[in-house]
């Protein structure tokens, strides 16, 4: 699965001509217009589908796959997840990371283990890292430069700034 990046889920059949409606999981909606092929997870197997047409309607996308020309042809795809190959992933700006690359990163504070990232919450103002320590205690760390000193995805290590200790005064 490391070779594939999740970008969407097929939520329903769109029309009788084989279009399906997708729920995008991508922060880059324009990416759907650049797709030549996708991989759909069908019973645990990634099958290649050639993208024939993509349209944006209001706040969602519809996609037509080659050789799927009716609603009967695509009904088995509803609920399936849509992936791109790793080499076809969107190129990110500096200091921007894929969530799946952040999950599992070790978080260090004052050169000591603070926990591991177990989830990333995407909020309106900024992302928040859910960090779990060895005792199973979760802490929320805003993903902002005020708290994060460095992120090294290759080493799977995130270092918090020295003045991060304002969170150590927990009211519990």
Sequence-distant (6+) residues with CB within 8 A of 89 are 5, 98
The pLDDT tens digits for 77-103 are: 999 999 988 777 777 777 778 777 888
Query: What is the full DSSP assignment across 91-135?
Result: PPPTT---HHHHTT-EEEETTEEEEEEEEEEE-SS-EEEEEE-TT
Task: Spell out the residues 6+ positions from residue 166 whose beta carbon is closer than 8 angstroms to its own.
Answer: none
The parent domain of residue 144 ranges over: 99-164
Is the pLDDT score of 172 beyond 70?
Answer: no
Contact 35, 84 (CB under 8 A): yes
With respect to residue 170, please indicate whether it lies within any of the assigned structural domains: no
Better pLDDT: 120 or 27: 120
Residue 2: pLDDT band by 50, 70, 90 thresholds? low
Among 67, 87, 107, the domain-final residue is 87
pLDDT over 80 (residue 137): yes
The CA distances from residue 39 to 20, 51, 150, in Å, are 15, 10, 34
14-67 pLDDT, tens digit each: 999 999 999 988 777 788 898 899 999 998 899 999 999 999 988 889 999 999
To the nearest whole number, what is the mean pLDDT of the chain?
Answer: 87
Please state the pTM of the whole predicted model: 0.66
Q: Domain end: 87, 109, 135, which one?
A: 87
Number of independent structural domains in the chain: 2
**For residue 1, pLDDT beyond 50:** no
């Amino acid at each position: 699965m490391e070779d594939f990046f999740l970008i969407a889920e097929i939520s329903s059949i769109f029309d009788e001509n084989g279009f399906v409606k997708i729920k995008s999981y991508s922060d880059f909606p324009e990416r759907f217009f650049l797709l030549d092929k996708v991989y759909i997870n069908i019973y645990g197997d990634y099958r290649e589908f050639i993208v024939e047409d993509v349209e944006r309607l209001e706040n969602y996308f519809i996609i037509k796959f080659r050789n799927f020309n009716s609603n009967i042809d695509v009904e088995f795809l509803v609920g399936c997840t849509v992936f791109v190959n790793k080499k076809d992933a969107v190129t990110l700006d500096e200091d921007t990371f894929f969530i799946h690359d952040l999950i599992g990163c070790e978080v260090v504070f004052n050169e000591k283990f603070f926990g591991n990232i177990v989830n990333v919450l995407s909020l309106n103002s900024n992302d928040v890292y859910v960090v779990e320590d060895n005792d199973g205690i979760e802490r929320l760390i805003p993903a902002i430069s005020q708290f994060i000193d460095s992120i090294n995805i290759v080493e799977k290590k995130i270092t918090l700034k020295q003045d991060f200790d304002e969170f150590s005064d927990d009211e519990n």
